[in-house]
Amino acid sequence: MSNSLQSALSQISEEFAQKVFEVIRTAFIAELGKVSLSAGPAPAPRARAAAPKALAPAAKSEAVKKPAAKGERLARRSSESIAEALDNIAGLLRKKPGIGSEEIQKTLGLARNEIARPIALGISTGVLSKSGEKRATKYFAGSGAKSAKKAASAKKAPSAKKAVSAKKAVSAKKAPKKGGDEAATATEST
């Protein structure tokens, strides 16, 4: 470009920028003049959305059962519904491995308390696996049972109380007897 054309364009752009700045500044000053620093009356509260109309008696029975609200207990679920939820979770994790609980919930449209049991069952049976802890936990499709139905029919892991009592029983057998020969018990345990 020629020098004269460049200087003309530069001048026009500077004038334009100055005019835009002046318009913004005057609008800001006008808005600032409207603001009162005195403790005047509080602004009017926002209007709330209209409350939903109550369902007619016939419509209530036809209403679709929604997931439990936050903190609300779920209705008792059958092993088939838990297995179905586990199948859905495992299918999602085959498509998108390494996602967290929140993304599983959003993708499948389930509440947090609806996915806890299927995930725990899946991990205990090998249908699912996990890495990480707490909010950093990521889930993967496991290499164990191929379907949740097999997982649901598999023998459940012993509860924590049973596991602790089993450990106590084992340690009680290994403990030396009072007044007995400690050398003899040490050779028995090895």
Q: For residue range 178-190, list pLDDT tens digits in order.
A: 554 544 444 444 4
Res. 100 pLDDT band, cuts 50 70 90 = very high
State how far the Cα of 6 lies from the Cα of 4, in Å rounded to an integer.
5
Residues sharing a CB contact under 8 Å with residue 119, sequence separation 6 or more, in sequence order: 86, 89, 101, 104, 128, 139
Residue 152 or 36, more confident: 36
- β-partners of residue 130 are 139
Q: Which domains does the chain have, with CATH numbers?
A: 79-153 (1.10.10.10)
pTM of the predicted model, to two decimals?
Answer: 0.44
Residue 4 or 35, more confident: 4
Q: For residue range 137-146, list pLDDT tens digits in order.
A: 999 998 765 5
Residue 35 or 179, more confident: 35
Please report, in angstroms and rounded to a whole number, the separation of the first and last CA atoms in the chain. Answer: 93
Q: Which helix (H) or strand (E) covers residue 128, if one does?
A: strand 128-131
pLDDT, the chain, mean: 73
pLDDT at 2: 80
User: Over 90: is that where the pLDDT of 91 sits?
Assistant: yes
State how far the Cα of 127 lies from the Cα of 120, in Å rounded to an integer.
10
State how far the Cα of 188 lies from the Cα of 173, in Å rounded to an integer.
11
Q: Which helix (H) or strand (E) covers residue 98, if one does?
A: none
Tokens found for residue 163: 């596991």
Q: For residue range 73-83, list pLDDT tens digits in order.
A: 778 888 898 99
